[in-house]
Amino acid sequence: MADIKDRHFEQDKVRNIGIIAHIDAGKTTTTERILYYTGRTHKIGDIDEGTTVMDWMKEERERGITIVSAATTTFWTPTEGLLKGIEHRINIIDTPGHVDFTAEVERSLRVLDGGITVLDAEEGVQSQSETVWRQADKYKVPRICFVNKMDKLGADFFATVKSIEDRLGANPAIMVLPIGSEQTYIGNVDLLTRKAYRWGSDELGAKFDVADDIPAEMRDQVEEFRHKLVEKISETDDSLIEKYLKSEEPTVEELRRALRRAVISYKLVPIYAGSSLRNKGVQPLLDAVVEYLPSPADLGEVHGHHPKTEAQEVRKLKEDEALSGLAFKIQNDPHVGKLTYFRVYSGKLESGSYVYNATKDIKERVGRLLLMHSNQREEIKEAYAGEIIAVVGLKDTGTGDTLSDEAHPIVLEKITFPEPVISLAIEPKTKSDQEKLGMALKRLMDEDPTFQVKANHETGQTIISGVGELQLEVKVHTMKEDFGVEANVGAPQVAYKETIKRQASGEGKYIRQSGGRGQYGHCFLRVTPKPRGEGYEFKDEIKGGAIPSEFIISIRKGIAETMENGIYLGYPMVDMDVAVYDGSFHEVDSSDIAFKIAASKALQVACKAADLTLLEPIMKVEVTTPSEFMGDVIGDLSAKRAQIIGTQEHGKATIILAMAPLAELSDYATTLRSMTQGRASYYMEPSHYDEVPVNIQEQMKAASTFTGRVE
């Protein structure tokens, strides 16, 4: 294969795609096959043997799961379609399927142009499939579905397509029909060309037979589904619908062009089938990526705003435009240091040049530019619009920051991440570990925006928080393996939050005379509840200079610190407006510290009058259990304060959907296994925060008073 450095592809011959799915649907296996068939690797990687290219971390290979999204670049020349024989460059990001690493999926989707959603042919659409689908909807990413594991016992292609319609609300365009199923699966019939693709003559699947001889028993079914496909595609295109109404058959070329437009505008989702592990069905999927998913040229432009004027800014996705791009991932590489993964939207970036971080209003120097192939890297001199690269040398740029031309600044839409719902205390074992711990935690926070760290000054412990137990377990393991930090870890704790139920006001006054210059701060605050999930907002309603503006900043700081430490049971406060509307100051004695203390006092008075309450994280839980255990599982969930939303039959299994408080779900895996003879499995993800029942709040208050946590 030619050296990437010599390649400068036209924008319409580039595809930036991600592979997204539920855990165990076969994303990494599919990616490994793509890399093998495109000539990027010369040996197929295997998850069970720990030889995959994309799962390169020791932790990933030990657990057999993807933890960090890995990027790679490869090349493909389609064997079919309008672009047959034209080489294309494909930048691929393989994302994790486990909900604890959802931030990796979120940031990858933000910078991708298209996606392949991999589904298990037996399981159909699962919970995490729905989650990643919604994330892709948020960033308007066109998709292709690949129904994987067609050779698996219980594989059902049409049931999976039905679940795509029902659970994802997508409009599927079935492109192939499988020949056989389960152990008899050997290939697919392409509905547009009426050709049969059969694998089997070559164990590695690189060679396959293409012929017009559709199995006799499938001919009627092929014609029926081809007719439906032509109808679906024609409905999205005015010129084709005219032909269709006149009973004229559109050509295959016309159908391909119309389907490409329909996919890019989210009207249709092409469905392909195969078995990545058995090396079947991957090459037609690659042809479809090139044929139907958008190139940077198809997307046309990117929108943002001017960092100073807030005016809307637009950039055409071309090389001759001013530079703009998004830093979407930070990774600490043992060989080159801090790597910033960067999507170039417009213009070009050169190594050794200076760029403007429009988000933070700073200039940064670009050291080296690297093309990443998982954890391997290849140095390049410049990167062009449409490329995904890694930059070495950016000191202060973080996830979600926009880099642009200083003369033409733009801030692109940021990436949003879920709130942490679980935390644990961590303390270093020795004095030398203490010094290393701070550095390790800072680096891990830079890499993962859902991982947060704060110090508990009362206990002297460091509290780390995240979106799941597995995520925190992996972070602690990484600290030990990569940074050599030995630490004692406490039991996971639920991340509660405090809020108020009604509006109230409070006065805070701090006066101190100590012989010389005194201290004087005085303010009135009003607190107002906000809807769940809306966060905190500070409002300055001071009229006529009752408090000088320099002290408003101190009031703001005092409020923020008090809210962080909590008033009710020591948990952070959320979902409320705090307005400072009156107060007084002293010409000589007023100071920053006096107003900070006054603001803290006023907030405590106001909140205590505003009916304080506690919020807890509620998880969306999905349990798949053999039907005979359904009653026991539902009974157990109900005892855990869960709200049962519904059940679905899936073969001999029942899927139970529920909303349950995280506090009740500790060690749920063990409980479920013992209740169902180890035959049930479950999945959970954070849903929202809700009020803790009053009786449980009373118990918690009594317990914390007993341990001296509150006054």
| Phi, psi values for residue 137, rounded to 5° | -60, -40
Q: What is the pLDDT of residues 34-85, one digit of tens each?
A: 888 887 665 565 544 444 444 434 444 444 444 444 678 888 888 888 888 8
Domains and CATH numbers, the chain: 4-298 (3.40.50.300), 301-412 (2.40.30.10), 422-493 (3.30.70.870), 498-610 (3.30.230.10), 617-696 (3.30.70.240)
Specify the amino acid at residue 446. Answer: D
Beta pairing partners, 538: 578
List the structure tokens of 219.
């001919």
**E strand segments, 534-606:** 536-540, 576-584
- Higher-pLDDT residue of 24, 19: 19
Measured in whole angstroms, the distance separating CA 444 from the mean position of its chain's CA atoms is 17
- CA dist 587 and 575 (Å) reads 35
- Neighbour-count burial of 348, counting CB atoms closer than 10 A to its CB (0-12 exposed, 13-18 middle, 19+ buried): middle
Beta pairing partners, 644: 658
- CA dist 268 and 148 (Å) reads 19
- CA dist 230 and 256 (Å) reads 10
At residue 99, the pLDDT reads: 54
List the structure tokens of 334.
């043992």
Q: What is the pLDDT of residues 331-345, one digit of tens each?
A: 777 777 788 888 899
Helix or strand run (H / E) with residue 196? strand 195-198
Q: What is the pLDDT of residues 357-394, one digit of tens each?
A: 999 999 999 988 888 765 567 788 888 888 888 898 88
**pLDDT greater than 80 at residue 650:** no
Neighbours of 343 (CB within 10 A): 26
Residues 6+ apart with CB under 8 A from 63: none
Q: What is the pLDDT of residues 298-344, one digit of tens each?
A: 887 888 999 888 888 888 888 888 999 988 888 777 777 788 888 89
**pLDDT greater than 90 at residue 509:** yes
Strand 312-316 and strand 324-333: the pairing is unpaired
At residue 65, the pLDDT reads: 44
Q: What is the pLDDT of residues 112-126, one digit of tens each?
A: 889 999 999 988 887
Q: What is the pLDDT of residues 482-493, one digit of tens each?
A: 788 888 888 778
Alpha-carbon torsion (461, 465, 471, 475), positive or negative: negative
**pLDDT greater than 70 at residue 706:** no
- CA dist 170 and 268 (Å) reads 7
pTM beyond 0.75: the answer is no
Specify the amino acid at residue 529. Answer: P
The 8 Å CB, 24+ separation contacts for 51-58 are 52/28, 53/373, 53/374, 54/28, 54/94, 54/374, 55/28, 56/374, 56/375, 57/375, 58/481
- Decide: 599 and 526 in contact? Cβ < 8 Å: no
Average pLDDT over residues 17-31: 80
The CA-atom distances, in angstroms, between 218 and each of 147, 196, 231, 346 are 19, 11, 20, 48
Average pLDDT over residues 610-623: 92
**pLDDT greater than 70 at residue 707:** no
> pLDDT band for position 432 (50/70/90)?
confident
Look up tokens 């690797």; give the residue.
41
Between helix 282-292 and helix 27-37 the angle, nearest 10°, is: 80
**pLDDT greater than 70 at residue 7:** no
Write b or e for each residue in 183-213: b if 16 or more Cβ atoms lie within 10 A of its Cβ, otherwise e. Answer: eebbbbbbbbeebbbbbeeeeebeebeeeee
Average pLDDT over residues 589-613: 94
Which segment of 201-210, 516-525, 528-537 scores lowest on mean pLDDT? 201-210
Beta pairing partners, 498: 573, 614
- CA dist 200 and 5 (Å) reads 36
At residue 2, the pLDDT reads: 38
DSSP 207-263: --EEES---GGGHHHHHHHHHHHHHHHHHT-HHHHHHHHTTPPPPHHHHHHHHHHHH
At residue 56, the pLDDT reads: 39
Angle at 685 between CA 680 and CA 690, to 5 degrees: 120
Q: What percent of the chain has pLDDT over 70?
A: 89
- Decide: 235 and 243 in contact? Cβ < 8 Å: no
List the structure tokens of 383.
């990167």
Mean pLDDT is highest, among 101-110, 266-275, 379-388, 646-655, for 266-275
